[in-house]
Structure 1
């Protein structure tokens, strides 16, 4: 992958034909949701929020991490700020659910069709129950993975809520 990233959300996108296969359903989901944020290909991996923020020249808190958990026997996608850790006990109490546990790598791939480090908020085989960290609202532009560790796209907090059908919620206590 040789494209140079641009932190300008209106910069032109990578050619969809040149994107990794797992990024193409994300592009389709963005188009279906009317979200204009274009997928960018990064020259290096952005598997972690710190790597993505460094590559994009943005605050780590503006990275919208896609973390998959299991709750009440179903996958739960938690979109959290790169500067937060999910407090699963706090979140379960807030949501009024049973215990929340981290999904295995295989469970993540089964639920999303994507590998850990590149999980996008959309483009999954089926919709996932989603919680969106309210801390993300503090950033005018968010960056999320686009189905592959080298692909990202920009969007706003409101677009993230619309794209995922997510429930806004704090993901950590006090």
Structure 2
């Protein structure tokens, strides 16, 4: 069976970047038995803490996309993010805005968006409490393991408190 095009694109991006998991192996996208559109759903299927899920949340930051990779145990404080990063207003993006800027649907947005321009990215400091975190692989059924440092490198993200 051929993988979904988003999954294949994410895996190709991981391979091209040399992304690694906590054991030093290449990060591999895994297909879950059930969709995992929330951190709790993903954590339950993977048998990990909710905080180990790296939610990829796209926000509308003064009309431009802002990707926030946050611990599944947190809610993003949009006022704090705006103030600390010189943004007038940060608000949740519409599903169309997310798809336009990532090529992916909410619930499965990966931290990489092949074929799309790179976007400003913030990486939650809370993710660094874990040796390994799990990020979405382009669809709600797909995830991949990665270290927080690799996630930062892969996205050229800024590590910051977001909650």
Q: CA RMSD in A?
A: 0.9
Count of matched residue positions in the alignment of Structure 1 and Structure 2: 156
Give how far 1:18 is off: 2.9
Q: Secondary structure at the match of 1:18?
A: coil
The alignment partner of 1:93 has SS state of: helix
The answer on 1:133 being equivalent to 2:124 is yes
Matched, 1:161 2:152: yes
- Conserved in 2, the CA contact under 8 Å of 1:69 and 1:75? yes
Q: State the alpha-carbon separation in 1 of the partners of residues 83 and 77 from structure 2.
A: 10
Which residue number in structure 1 is paired with residue 5 of structure 2? 21
TM-score, structure 1 length as denominator? Answer: 0.87
User: What is the CA–CA distance in structure 1 between the aligned matches of 2:127 and 2:101, rounded to whole Å?
Assistant: 23
| 1:161 and 1:168 in contact (8 A); partners too | yes
Tell me how far 1:97 sits from its aligned partner.
1.4
Please say if residues 132 and 167 of structure 1, whose CA atoms lie closer than 8 Å, have aligned partners that are also in contact: yes
In structure 2, the partner of 1:69 is 59
Name the SS of the counterpart of 1:111 in structure 2: helix
Shift of 1:80: 0.2
Which residue in 1 is equivalent to 2:15?
Answer: 31
Aligned-residue offset at 1:117: 0.4
Q: Does 1:171 align with 2:158?
A: no
Runs (4+) of structure 1 moved beyond 2 Å? none
Structure 2: 5+ residue stretches without partners: 20-25
| Contact 1:130 1:165 (C-alpha < 8 Å) held by counterparts | yes
Q: TM-score, normalised by structure 2?
A: 0.93
5+ residue gaps, structure 1, are 1-16
